[in-house]
A = this chain, B = another copy of it.
Amino acid sequence: MISSIAELIADRIGTMPAGERRAAQTLIASYPMIGLKTVAEFSAAAGVSSPTILRFVARLGFQNYPEFQSSLQDELAAQLQSPAIRTLNPPSPGSGSASPMLEATLDNMRETFRHLSDRQLADIATRLAERRGKTFLIGGRFTDPLARYMAAHLAIIQPDVIHLAGQESMWRDRLIDMGKRDVLVIFDIRRYQDSLVRFAEKAHQRGVQIVLFTDQWLSPIARFARHVIAGRTAVPSAWDSSAALFVVAETLIGAVTRQLEADGARRIREMEGLR
């Protein structure tokens, strides 16, 4: 059953030629506001010509553009009048043909944060913000991108943020630079990598404070870690999901940024100047 124009588009977008598909994507991207404007504005936003927009609405089954707009407006009106039914798509949260994957991921995040106190996050953020030493980040086979993501942001708001990439032997050489005043952020989920565990242990011996992102079964690195963040990873897929950890990472990035606001703002301005 097709109840909204958005669904209608999703249903037919596959059969559309390139130009009309761009129109469809533009509309979906800022649904449905663009559709309420004039054909000229719509076409400009989509980067196509007016006739393409008209052919697009025609393909959706509307006689003309005004009819299409009216339909959008009716949809909007219905949405606004019953905020309860709002999220019009997932009528029964948790079911929907939508995506069991999405539902599981959302659940994972809620669960992850339920077991994560604001206090704990704040502590970690503070530790990362007080720049007594350097910040190292590293991850496993699938989680290294998370380390990179975090490093990319942190490196902008403070100095001495180092992502450990490449071969295992490369990291090991960096150990010599690491000491009590430094922090090591490690991402490690199943199947836990021996190389990471070994590395964490050595760092720990040198007095480095370890912040561990892992799954609910806890990587063995938890033994050495000062702070452990355990994220849910189970989803209906062949792979584990790192999405919950990703969100925690973003939250942390935000918190650190806030704490460094004064310093950070200056750094960011300087950086913008350099680009």
Q: Please report A residues at the B interface, Cβ cutoff 8 Å.
A: 6-7, 10-11, 13-14, 18, 22, 25-26, 28-31, 33, 36-37, 47, 73, 76-77, 80, 83, 86-87, 89-90, 92, 94-95, 97-99, 101-102, 105-106, 109-111, 113-121, 123, 141-142, 144-146, 148-149, 152-153, 216-218, 222-223, 226, 228, 230, 235-239, 241-243, 246-247, 250-251, 253-254, 257-258, 264
CA distance A206 to B268 in the complex (A): 37
CA distance A6 to B77 in the complex (A): 16
Q: Beyond the given A6-B115, A239-B253, could you list 17 further A-B residue pairs with CB under 8 A, ordered by the A residue number?
A: A13-B117, A14-B119, A18-B226, A22-B222, A25-B230, A29-B115, A83-B87, A86-B86, A87-B114, A94-B110, A99-B113, A101-B251, A102-B109, A102-B113, A142-B153, A145-B145, A237-B258
Residue among B37, B120, B144 making CB contact with A73, cutoff 8 Å: B37
Residue among B73, B145, B237, B257 making CB contact with A257, cutoff 8 Å: B237
Contacts A33-B77, A76-B76, A106-B106; A254 near B239 (Cβ below 8 A): yes
CA distance A13 to B26 in the complex (A): 38
Q: Provide the residues of chain B in CB contact with A76, threshold 8 Å.
A: 33, 76
